[in-house]
Amino acid sequence: MKKIAAILSFLLLYSCGTHDDDGTESRRFHWELRGVWETTRERPGGGPCQFGDTLCLYAKMVIEFNAITLTGSIAHFENITRNVRLEGYSAIDDISGDNLIHIRARNEWQTPVRYSLWNAAGSVDKILTLENEGMAIEEFRRTGDL
């Protein structure tokens, strides 16, 4: 009886899980990434950069279930159209174990970008860091949920 219950539980989870109609796992952003992320850059003289600021470069990412919208200047995504909702997902590389963000722009999957997610020191704020060759290039603070 316990085996039957375990099998039924597995089938229920599989059928209600994150699989597409063809049985493959759907491409989506991890739930911790979903939300509004804004740059942590500072203005000359102090204070955070803001949209429309001419003294520093402001950037923002809105990450949904399976889409991402980029605003402003983000080094890793400089060749990707801004202010347009693009298909995307996050995944863990099977070989390196790196966390990766994948974005489809102009009908092509772009080179994945490595990221890390952590809590700011002494705070509950989440920080999303985009990386290149293991070095932090761009930091974003979670400023809102979807």
pLDDT per residue over 75-127, tens digit each?
Answer: 778 788 899 999 999 999 999 999 999 999 999 999 999 999 998 887 788 99
β-strand pairing of 67-72 with 35-39: unpaired
Give the CA-trace dihedral at 11, 17, 21, 25, to 10 degrees: -110
**pLDDT score of 65 more than 50:** yes
pLDDT band at 20 (very low <50, low <70, confident <90, very high): very low
Instruction: Kindly report the average pLDDT of the chain as a whole number.
Output: 80
CATH for 26-144, among 3.40.50, 1.20.1260, 2.40.128, 1.10.10? 2.40.128
Q: Supply the pTM of this predicted model.
A: 0.75
- List Cβ<8 Å contacts ≥24 apart for 22-28: 26/66, 27/66, 27/87, 27/89, 27/91, 27/102, 28/65, 28/66, 28/89, 28/90
Res 110: pLDDT: 92
